């Protein structure tokens, strides 16, 4: 028997935005511990990490949250080069 929908239930919250902006740009071969290491780069702020242990291929394809900007362009601080640039 199929269930009837509840017409008076509370509306669901909208889905959260996915803040994952760190993606793999360089990967190494597994070493003696049989664990590969990867380097990650952020699409928003340009932050690049050092070599970190890989979680799994599937998890790395999904990306990680950037520790600098947290995936939000509003958190990116302007660099010294953009502050010193003259405005026309």
Rounded to whole angstroms, the Cα distance separating 26 from 38 reads 6
Residue 1 burial by Cβ neighbours in a 10 Å radius (0-12, 13-18, 19+): exposed
Res. 86 pLDDT band, cuts 50 70 90: low
Rounded to whole angstroms, the Cα distance separating 13 from 55 reads 30
Rounded to whole angstroms, the Cα distance separating 41 from 47 reads 6
- The pLDDT tens digits for 7-57 are 777 888 888 777 888 899 998 888 888 888 999 998 888 889 999 998 888
Element (H, E) at 61: helix 57-62
């Amino acid at each position: 028997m199929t269930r009837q929908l509840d017409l008076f239930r509370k509306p669901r919250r909208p889905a959260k935005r996915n803040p994952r902006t760190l993606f793999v740009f360089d990967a190494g071969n597994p070493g003696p511990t049989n664990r590969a290491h990867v380097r990650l780069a952020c699409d928003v702020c340009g932050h690049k990490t050092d070599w970190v242990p890989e979680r799994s291929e599937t998890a790395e394809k999904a990306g990680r949250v950037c520790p600098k900007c947290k995936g939000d362009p509003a958190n990116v601080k302007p660099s010294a080069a953009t502050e010193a640039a003259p405005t026309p």
